Amino acid sequence: MKNLLGGAFLVASIAVAGSSSGTVPPNVHIAYPIPGSPNSNYFKVSFTVTCQGGQNGVKWGFDGSSVGSATFYDNFNSQFLHKLPTGWHTVDVSASCGQDQVRFFVN
């Protein structure tokens, strides 16, 4: 009986803990625009930055030109609309703890 209860406790503990994929989310993540996606001239930009250890900085822009910057502690999120001419473009986000870039098309 003791082994049966111990086994049931182990199974219940694993179920509560959930699965572990072993992946760590990136420090800088651009959610929108989606890589390679077609977009209208006014398109949504959304990104998240998570850096540990005090004051951090982040800069963002399009096609190598700066659009904005901020200082933050631990986490910074941004969502905004932007307008670019038709063609292929990149959105770049660079923080003190990492960077991300997405290439996308404007119709």
Percent of residues in the chain assigned helix, strand, coil, to nearest 5: 15, 60, 25
Predicted model pTM: 0.76
| 101 found inside a domain | yes
Q: What whole-number distance in Å separates Cα of residue 90 and Cα of residue 64?
A: 8
Between CA 28 and CA 50 the distance in angstroms is 7
The dihedral sign for the CA sequence 12, 17, 18, 22: negative
Instruction: Please check the confidence at residue 10 and state whether its pLDDT lies above 60.
Output: no
pLDDT band at 103; cut points 50, 70, 90: very high
Could you read off the pLDDT of 46-92 as tens digits, one per residue?
Answer: 999 999 888 999 999 999 999 999 999 999 999 999 999 999 999 99
Structural domain contains residue 87: yes
Q: Is residue 64 part of a domain?
A: yes
Structural domain contains residue 77: yes
CATH number, domain at 62? 2.60.40.10
Q: Which helix (H) or strand (E) holds 32?
A: strand 28-32
In a domain, 69, yes or no: yes
What is the domain count for the chain?
Answer: 1
Structural domain includes residue 20: no
Domain annotation covers residue 10: no
Tell me, what's the pLDDT at 53?
82
Q: Name the band, by pLDDT with cuts 50, 70 and 90, for residue 36.
A: very high
Q: Per-residue pLDDT for 2 more than 70?
A: no
Residue 76 in any domain: the answer is yes
**Residues of the domain holding 43:** 27-106
